[in-house]
Amino acid sequence: MPYALLSVTDKKDLIPLATAIMRVGYGLLSTGGTAKHLRDAGLAVEDVSDCTQFPEIFGGRVKTLHPKIFAGILRREKDLPQLKKLGGSPIPLVVVNLYAFEDTVAKPGVEEAEAIEKIDIGGPSLLRAAAKNWEMTSVISSPSQYSKVIEELEDHKTIRREMRWDLAKEAFGKTAAYGVAISRW
């Protein structure tokens, strides 16, 4: 079964998106707080750590940075036999929004240690991997995109090529802006 990976800080409007994703036949794969949010809404979700057989470590600093996850996102059609041999599954849909680094460092008196913990590593990596493989993987990087993606899924049962490319460009833009915000801190 193909999976949609959902790992978000901003959970606004996530449940309608996740429901639409499930209706077109994707399983939900998620992390920590996002998985709890989905389960609390009654949705079936598999934890990333169950998929990878590797626990979240370092207080959640490392959870999605795993070859099974990135292989599922970056696979091409010709890679499917190798992915299966590795025990992985295709991940043709990635829903990620990033830690609120800019909001954190804008707070008066923010401690350096707090700011450092708001530097997202896995999120930008997931967004960039999915955007790189936009012909096979859709990437959703903001709740502002959810309604158009839901409409696309309802109308076409998939996210068509043109929209995948637009979503990929937005994801690359988000990760670039995120890097600039960190470098200016």
- Residue-wise pLDDT for 78-103, tens only, equals 999 999 999 999 999 999 999 889 99
**Residue 2: alpha-carbon gap to chain centroid:** 14
Q: What is the pLDDT at residue 61?
A: 87
Q: What is the pLDDT at residue 60?
A: 82
Q: Whole-angstrom Cα distance, residue 99 to residue 101?
A: 6
Nearest CA among 52, 8, 6 for reference residue 27: 6
pLDDT above 90 (res 143): yes
pLDDT digits (tens, 9 = 90+) for 25-49: 999 999 999 999 999 999 999 999 9
Average pLDDT over residues 114-119: 93
**Reported confidence tier of residue 109, pLDDT bands at 50, 70, 90:** very high
Q: Whole-angstrom Cα distance, residue 122 to residue 104?
A: 18
Per-chain mean pLDDT for the chain: 96
